[in-house]
Amino acid sequence: MDSRMYEEICGVVGDGGQVLRDEPMSAHTTFRAGGPAKVFAIPGDSRELGSILGLCRERGWPWFILGNGSNLLVSDEGFDGVMVAIGKPFGDIRAEAGGLLYAGAGALLSRIARSAMELGLTGLEFASGIPGSLGGAVVMNAGAYGGEMKDVLSRVQVLTGEGKVEELSPGDLELGYRTSNILKKGYVVLGAWFCLKKGDPDKILARMEELAGLRRQKQPLEYPSAGSTFKRPEGYFAGKLIQDAGLRGFSLGDAQVSEKHCGFVVNKGHASASDIMGLCRQVSGKVKERFGVELELEVKCLGNFGYPGGGKG
């Protein structure tokens, strides 16, 4: 099966892309943990992307769309399917008429925000320090410091499950707190247009630098992590609940609740995905026991993490 999967994916990826076997996901996630993907495919354009996904659907192979890996934990066993990386071939950023800014799904939010600043366009300052790519940011309606993707998106270009390219409004995508209907509908984000306002580049840059300073001060940027590990429970802050449960610095192996910000689980050295997941489960259990509040992971988990009954993460 592995050989056939690899060979057939190679057959639809041209010189502009790449296909690898047993690629360690620790090299492609910001947690720096996780086992190998059986096949790791980098399509060279949207046509190849559609061909890869069409082949996976036809053959019944599991597949996953990977951006910057900034909100993902892959199990130590790895992913027994096709990891489809949306990278540089989808990284275009350009200004368009009417104050619109277009960015491909593989473009990093930091690059998009910097490009907007250089064009004198304001509205994306909040995204300048989010360590993810556009595709994942749209899927999760990423946000920080009072801003969210839904606030600045004009329209989104997607590849449908039928292989058609469509342009949808933010309303069509049901963007909410760290959620959308993109995965449920079987869409893959190809790119998006932002509707931004004219602004002073110096003031925009100053705001970006101010937010960068706040991040350095409050977040454990010196260690690998996936950013905020848990979603914000209604009426609470996850980090405050974890802190009040006495879990600051709590660790399992090299996985640790950050001493700087309790909302972050960090990899202090060579934490395995099992260490990270085990720590998250313990933290969630202790918070539930102490405060009766259920913490939900914001991080996407992929692979077998040994849930009771042998379920998948």
Q: Are residue 96 and residue 84 in the same domain, yes or no? A: no
Q: Are residue 98 and residue 165 in the same domain, yes or no? A: yes
Give per-residue pLDDT as tens, 208-247: 999 999 999 999 999 999 999 999 999 999 999 999 999 9
The CATH number given to whatever domain includes residue 185 is 3.30.465.10
The structural domain count of the chain equals 3
- The predicted model gives 151-172 an average pLDDT of 95
Q: Are residue 102 and residue 197 in the same domain, yes or no? A: yes
Q: Give a yes or no: residue 188 inside a domain.
A: yes
> In angstroms, what CA-CA distances link 291 with 262, 263, 281, 285?
16, 16, 15, 10
At residue 3 the predicted structure's pLDDT band, cuts being 50, 70 and 90, is: confident
Q: Is 125 a catalytic residue?
A: no
Helix (H) or strand (E) holding 170: none
The confidence score (pLDDT) of residue 305 equals 86
Buried b / exposed e across 146-183, counting CB within 10 Å, b at 16+?
ebbbbbbbbbbbbbeeeeeeeebebebbebeebebebe
Between 1-10, 166-175, 250-259, the lowest mean confidence (pLDDT) is in 1-10
Give per-residue pLDDT as tens, 182-218: 989 999 999 999 999 999 999 999 999 999 999 999 9
- Please report the DSSP string for 46-81 in residue order: HHHHHHHHHHHHHHT--EEEESS-TTEEE-TT-EEE
Q: Is 47 a catalytic residue?
A: no
Annotated catalytic residue within 32, 59, 114, 178: 178
Mean model confidence pLDDT for the chain: 94
Q: Look up the pTM and report it.
A: 0.91
> In angstroms, what CA-CA distances link 79 with 23, 133, 215?
10, 21, 32
> How many Cα neighbours within 13 Å face the side chain of 184?
8
The CATH number given to whatever domain includes residue 236 is 3.90.78.10
Work out the number of other CB atoms within 10 angstroms of the CB of residue 134. 32
Task: Please answer whether residues 1 and 197 qualify as being in contact, where contact means their C-beta atoms are separated by less than 8 angstroms.
Answer: no
- Please report the DSSP string for 114-160 in residue order: HHHHHTTEES-GGGTT--SBHHHHHHTT-EETTEEGGGTEEEEEEE-
Q: Are residue 75 and residue 62 in the same domain, yes or no? A: yes
Annotated catalytic residue within 8, 48, 125, 298: 298
The confidence score (pLDDT) of residue 99 equals 80
* Main-chain dihedrals φ then ψ at residue 227, nearest 5 degrees: 75, -150
Q: Is 272 a catalytic residue?
A: no
Q: Are residue 136 and residue 229 in the same domain, yes or no? A: no
- The predicted model gives 51-68 an average pLDDT of 96
* Tokens matching residue 304: 């077998």
Task: Please answer whether residues 137 and 108 qualify as being in contact, where contact means their C-beta atoms are separated by less than 8 angstroms.
Answer: no
Q: Is the dihedral of CA 187, 296, 35, 310 positive or negative?
A: negative
- The predicted model gives 148-158 an average pLDDT of 97
Q: Which of 140, 172, 205 is the last residue of a domain?
A: 205
Q: Which of 170, 205, 240 is the last residue of a domain?
A: 205
- What are the E-state strand segments in 150-307? 153-159, 165-168, 188-195, 197-198, 225-228, 251-252, 255-257, 264-267, 300-302
Q: Are residue 24 and residue 45 in the same domain, yes or no? A: yes
Q: Are residue 103 and residue 182 in the same domain, yes or no? A: yes
Q: Give a yes or no: residue 211 inside a domain.
A: no
Annotated catalytic residue within 128, 228, 272, 284: 228
Q: How far apart are CA 109 and CA 144, in angstroms?
A: 12
Helix (H) or strand (E) holding 3: helix 2-10
Q: Are residue 163 and residue 231 in the same domain, yes or no? A: no
Give per-residue pLDDT as tens, 114-141: 999 999 999 999 999 999 999 999 999 9
Q: Which of 147, 178, 205 is the last residue of a domain?
A: 205
Helical axes 201-218 vs 109-118, angle rounded to 10°: 150
What is the extent of the structural domain holding 65? Answer: 2-88
What does the radius of gyration of the chain's CA atoms come to, in whole angstroms? 20
